[in-house]
Amino acid sequence: MNSVEASGLTVRLNGFEALSNVTLSLNHPSFTVIIGPNGAGKTTLLKTILGLLKPQSGNIRVMGLDPTKEPQKVRLMVGYVPQRDRISFFVPMKVKDVVMMSRLAWKRPPRWVTEHDEAAVKEALRIVGAEDLANRMFNELSGGQQQRVLIARAIVSEPKLLLLDEPFNGIDVMTQHEIMNLIASLRKNGVSVIMVTHDVSDVIDLIDNLVLLYRSIVAIGKPEDVLREDVLKNVYGNRIRVYSNEPCLMFVPRDSHG
């Protein structure tokens, strides 16, 4: 079974064609990175995978299920970490409660917390190296600490697919390395990961599929097949440079994305 399969996927937002005729097939488990300039439709694709957006045409399957027809079943299998700048941090809440919210989200009322739930939250925080933050207030944490907690929230229900939207933005180098190690561990343990980013240099050795997206699939394949100036300049123009030393490096301006 593939983690994600899409065929002729077209999504419109406010009359604008955010995704056009997207076709791809991602093995499970695998680590997929999606790159593309501002407005390329990267976040739109993640939200469509999650079932938050419905395609105008084409079809999509996530772990064999149609997220437009069975969104709840899909969301039970998918963990999602949105961009941090799109999350409100004003509500004071302990870290362990932020993670627990995801654990309880799909329980029927009354949502009693069991010992198993508490153990799962503790384990998720341990995996991301944030177990010592359990009783801290989430809105008082640093950006890197918040990102670890958000990932813990996404993995606490043991998803088969994890979606990460710009997880490296605004965090320290140590946390970036911890996220990279987590991705490698998840993939080894049968979890597929799809990550949107502007900079692939730190994760290039982990990538199974690299997708260059600009409303449609411009290129997909191994990093060495996609990270070529003749390919990238079709999207980025002269703003892109590729360095072919080992490992292959790419410089992309850090603009925001759509």
In tens, the pLDDT along 65-117 reads 999 999 889 988 999 999 865 566 566 889 999 999 888 877 777 778 889 99
CB 207 within 8 A of CB 214: no
CB 23 within 8 A of CB 34: no
Domains along the chain?
A: 4-86+160-251 (3.40.50.300)
State residue 170's pLDDT score.
78
State residue 144's pLDDT score.
86
Mean pLDDT of 123-152: 91
The answer to which of 83-97, 174-188, 241-255 has the lowest mean pLDDT is 241-255
Percent of the chain with pLDDT over 90: 56
212 forms beta bridges with 35, 219
pLDDT greater than 80 at residue 226: yes
pLDDT greater than 90 at residue 228: no
Mean pLDDT of 180-207: 90
Using CB atoms within 10 Å of the CB of residue 222, give its burial: 0 to 12 exposed, 13 to 18 middle, 19+ buried. Answer: exposed
CB 201 within 8 A of CB 245: no
Mean pLDDT of 157-168: 93
State residue 241's pLDDT score.
64
Q: Rounded CA gap, 233 and 106, in Å?
A: 44
State residue 253's pLDDT score.
46
State residue 111's pLDDT score.
78
- The string of pLDDT tens digits covering residues 14-63 is 889 999 999 999 999 999 999 998 889 999 999 999 999 999 999 999 99
Which regions of the chain does DSSP assign to beta strands (E)? Answer: 4-13, 16-26, 31-35, 57-62, 78-81, 161-165, 192-196, 209-214, 216-221, 241-243, 249-251
Burial 203-220 (b: 16+ CB within 10 A, else e): bbebbbbbbbbbbebbbb
